[in-house]
A = this chain, B = another copy of it.
Amino acid sequence: MPDITDDATRWDDIAARLRPGADGLVAAVAQQWDTGEVLMLAWMDAEALRRTLQTGRATYWSRSRQEYWVKGDTSGHVQQVREVRLDCDGDAILLRVDQTGPACHTGTRSCFDADVLLGAEDAA
């Protein structure tokens, strides 16, 4: 994978487009690239994004532990990154990934599997 973070000018330009919230973070949505399933939402600062682009492994900032974490480093449930997109106002990133095993630390495929507040059958 070509590493755009090697190009300092291009990287500075990307980092300058980020519009983090009060906590200095942007939201990162991980989506399984082939099925379209939304797997999880985590948080990134510019450094987490740089590491993700550089390594091709999804790397986030943990708000609870206040540290970087590479998805799957402890669990083995890695996210190989195929595509990274920034949204129109710079406060969200979409990662299209190939997820090994469950994305959620609870063991479900997606972090959105367990808690349905409104179901499609209700809306019908």
Residues on A facing B (Cβ under 8 Å):
1-2, 4, 14, 17, 21-23, 25, 27, 29, 31, 33, 35-38, 40-41, 49, 53, 56, 63, 80-89, 91-94, 96, 104-106, 108, 111-120, 122-123
Contacts and interface: CB of A to CB of B under 8 A. Distances in A.
A85 B80 CA distance: 25
A37 to B, nearest CB: 7
A94 B118 contact: no
Nearest to A80: B123
B116 A87 contact: no
Most chain B CB within 10 A, of A38, A56, A108, A118, is at A118
Given A29-B38, A88-B104, 15 more contacts: A2-B122, A21-B21, A21-B63, A22-B22, A33-B120, A36-B36, A40-B92, A41-B92, A83-B120, A85-B116, A86-B112, A87-B111, A88-B111, A94-B112, A96-B120
Most chain B CB within 10 A, of A87, A93, A104, A113, is at A87
A117 B35 contact: no
A105 B81 contact: no
Nearest to A31: B38
A27 B120 CA distance: 21
